[in-house]
Amino acid sequence: MQKNNQTQEKSIVIGRKVKVTVDRPLGSCHPKYKDMVYPVNYGYIAGIIAPDGEEQDAYILGVDHPVDTFTGKMIAIIRRLDDVEEKWVVCPEDMFFTAEEIEQQVCFTEKYFAHEIITGPRLETFPDFMRSEKNIVPSEQQNTPHIEGYYYTGNDGSQAAFWEYSADSESKEHSHDYDEYMVCLSGEYTVILDGKETVLQPGDEMVIPKGTLQGARVKKGTRTFHAFGGRRIK
């Protein structure tokens, strides 16, 4: 229930108007790491408590001079995958930044953390109607620990399946005699194909040809969707 409430709250938060009190203005130095200079204004939103128990931090984009306070629209959440903190991204109401543009402006500090940038409503887990016990992937057919998966079978014998990971995990090497499509929905999924690594972020897709030796490293909280050209779950 708590996860559903958090998901609903984040869906409402993106796009709302917020006021940021700036305590690290553009051009200032980090209070602890003096060689880190802020290329954007940075502060907090009074009265909103973040997952770390402190008032919610926020980056301000689209303002090219130091400010003391700023009121604008919230356009994204930066979720750190290896930390409890989340950062909000705020900009003027008549502006918009893509996830790639946000990444470029906040990488001066976020590069030190594994993270994802959420620019729209994002579920924390799959909805209940998709997670029927009748469709759960049997544990003996899982290639990865700390995982929960569900599947559906088409009339032609092909299958679709989706998984979520409750802890950092590694998938053992395996291959299929049919093609596989996958998309990363949240978190971070590192695909290893014939020894070559490719990091998938939310929204990234991949087709894995049949017969390819594959493995993976997966961050806690990751969710993925897969389609198989054959019967993956027996």
Q: Return the CATH architecture of domain 2-118.
A: Alpha-Beta Complex (3.90)
Q: Which residue spans of the chain are classified as CATH 3.90.80.10?
A: 2-118
Cβ of 35: how many Cβ atoms within 10 Å? 6
Give, in order, the Cα–Cα distances in Å from 100 to each of 157, 185, 201: 38, 17, 12
Measured between alpha carbons, how far is 95 from 85 in angstroms, rounded to an integer? 25
Q: Which residue spans of the chain are classified as CATH 2.60.120.10?
A: 128-228
The residues that bridge with 206 in the sheet, in sequence order, are 182
* pLDDT value at residue 135: 96
3-state secondary structure 70-109: EEEEEEEEEEECCCCCEEEEEECCCCCCCHHHHHHHHHHH
> Residue 140 — φ and ψ, nearest 5°?
-70, -10
* 174-205 pLDDT, tens digit each: 999 999 999 999 888 999 999 999 999 888 99
The residues that bridge with 183 in the sheet, in sequence order, are 205, 225
Cβ neighbors of 1 (< 8 A, separation 6 or more) are: none
Q: Which CATH class is domain 128-228?
A: mainly beta
- pLDDT for residue 53 is more than 60: yes
For residue 118, the one-letter residue type is: I
Token pair 């200032």 is found at 28
Look at phi and psi of residue 133 and say left if phi exceeds 0, alpha if psi is from -120 to 50, else beta. alpha
* 107-161 pLDDT, tens digit each: 999 999 999 998 877 677 899 999 999 999 999 999 999 999 999 999 999 999 9
The residues that bridge with 180 in the sheet, in sequence order, are 208, 228
Q: What is the DSSP letter of 136?
A: B
Percent of the chain with pLDDT over 90: 72
Measured between alpha carbons, how far is 138 from 37 in angstroms, rounded to an integer? 51
Q: Are 194 and 212 in contact (CB under 8 A)?
A: yes
* pLDDT value at residue 126: 92
Q: Which two tokens stand for residue 72?
A: 């604008």
* 158-168 pLDDT, tens digit each: 999 999 999 99
| Residue 228 burial class via C-beta count within 10 angstroms: exposed 0-12, middle 13-18, buried 19 and up | buried
Q: What is the DSSP letter of 204?
A: -
> Residue 159 — φ and ψ, nearest 5°?
-135, 155
Give, in order, the Cα–Cα distances in Å from 146 to each of 27, 194, 203: 44, 24, 22
